Amino acid sequence: MDSLLTSMNNFIVIFLCMIAGVLCRRLRAFPASTAQSLNAFIIYLSLPALVISQLPKLFLKMKFVGLWWVPVSMAWISFVLSFCFFAFLGKYKKWSNAKIGALILTAGLGNTSFVGFPILEAIIGHHAIPIGILVDQPGSFLVLSTLGIMVAAFFSGTHVNTKYIFKKVLTFPPFIALLFSVGWAISGLYGEEVLQSPIEKIAMTLVPLALFAVGFQLKFDLSILKRRRFPLAIGLSFKLVLIPAFFAFFYLKILGENDLAAKVTVLESAMATMISSAVVATEFHLDTELANLMVGIGIPLSLITVPLWNHFLFQ
Q: CATH code at 18?
A: 1.20.1530
- Is the Cβ–Cβ distance between 290 and 102 less than 8 Å? yes
Domain span at residue 176 reads 2-22+34-210+223-314
Helix (H, G, I), strand (E, B) or coil at 216: helix
Tell me if 29 is assigned to some domain.
no
Instruction: Let me know: does 154 contact 105? Beta carbons within 8 Å.
Output: no
Q: What are phi and psi of 273, to 5 degrees?
A: -60, 140
CA 207, CA 246: separation in Å to the nearest integer?
28
DSSP-assigned states of every residue in 245-269: HHHIIIIIIIS---SHHHHHHHHHH
The answer to whether residue 254 sits within a structural domain is yes
Could you give the 3-state DSSP secondary structure of residue 28?
coil
Q: Is the dihedral of CA 154, 160, 166, 168 positive or negative?
A: negative
Q: What is the predicted pLDDT for the residue at 59? A: 66
Mind listing the pLDDT tens digit of every residue in the chain (315 residues)?
Answer: 455 555 667 777 778 888 898 899 889 889 988 988 888 898 889 888 888 887 776 666 655 445 678 899 999 999 999 999 999 999 999 999 999 999 999 999 999 987 888 899 889 988 888 889 889 888 998 899 889 989 998 998 887 778 877 887 788 888 888 888 878 777 766 665 556 778 888 988 887 888 888 788 777 778 878 889 999 999 999 999 999 999 999 999 998 888 888 999 999 999 999 988 888 888 888 998 899 889 888 988 998 999 999 999 987
pTM: 0.82
User: Beta-strand (E) ranges in the chain?
Assistant: none
Specify if 41 maps to a domain. yes
The span from the CA of 278 to the CA of 150, in Å, is: 15
| Residue 27 placed within a domain | no
Assess if residue 124 is contained within a domain: yes
Provide the pLDDT for residue 236.
97
3-state class (DSSP) for residue 219: coil
Domains: count for the chain: 1
How far apart are alpha carbons 68 and 288 in whole angstroms? 34
